[in-house]
Amino acid sequence: MGAPPLPYTGVSLSGAEFGSKRPGIYGKDYIYPSLKDASYFLEKGMNTLRVPFLWERLQPELEKDLDPAEIKRLRSLIEGITAKGGYAILDVHNYAKYRGSFIGSTEVPFTAFADLWQRLATEFGNDPHVFFGLMNEPHGLPTEQWRDAANAGIQAIRKTGAKNLILVCGNGFSGGHSWNSDWYGTPNAKVMLEIVDPADHFAFEIHQYLDSNFSGSSPKPVSATIGSEKLKGVTKWLHEHGKKGFLGEFGGANDPVSLAAIDDQLGFLDDHADVWLGWTWWAAGPWWGDDYFMLLRPAKDGQDRAQMAPLLKHVAPVSEGTH
């Protein structure tokens, strides 16, 4: 028997971040997954569903009201998940940009990012089953600039009184394999130590795929142990500095090596439960084509995808989640 599962285990329910048009037309350019999409995973025993969406759709003008129709769609899905006992992650899927400009620029000041999170914390801050994913995969800006943006968002959340768990990505796509690297700027291993949360209730969101450039763009895995190997460095860092981690994105194909790598990667996390809180697979959702190699939605015949088998060996059922 391996170590018990981590507290928070599940999948990203994709769709609301789809499309290049911003805001775009709902139902044509993008879609929110349904509660039925979510229920499939909750009924399988997964308890954590990450919901990506675009900032521009939720807030069409910086530092202005959230769009009523959009927040209603988001709230409907989030409340549907939590009503069933699950945990929902709000994932601002914008790569540290708004309409093409980085947070911290003249066009998108840090105050604009703080304003977004103040509004989201006001909407969802009374529910401990909702986690706040500050920003998906920042890249292309100095790590120090992203640090300042993240700290502004965290301060805004806490000023509302919200005590929700906050997930903070690092710079450079937040790869576990590159946590100590400097190709994207000052290493996350240095700058992310300067993240400040008055409530001290946050975790670093790490992404780690299995292909040769760790992007999740190829179905070919490097090896059956590549996922755990590339998480060792950041896990050591978490241990050394008393920090927590959450594997926000990972995934692989359905060949035997990939399936073994998935099992191995999650087994590694289970073995380090003192620093890892959980994971969400990439991805599920209604608009992925059936040929997407990491798709976790059931096949047309209703059968589970092959990747579900190793995942279910490491899930924390809904009744066992903690907050």
Active site amino acids:
137, 249
296 CB-contact burial (10 Å; exposed 0-12 / middle 13-18 / buried 19+): buried
- Write out the two tokens for 153: 């968002």
Give the 3-state DSSP-derived string for 111-133, with helices as H, strands as E and coil as C. HHHHHHHHHHHHHHCCCCCEEEE
Helices and strands (H and E) in the chain: how many: 9, 10
Distance (Å, whole) CA 138 – CA 128: 25
How distant, in Å, are the alpha carbons of 41, 205, 277, 320 from that of 5? 16, 18, 10, 10
Distance (Å, whole) CA 167 – CA 170: 10
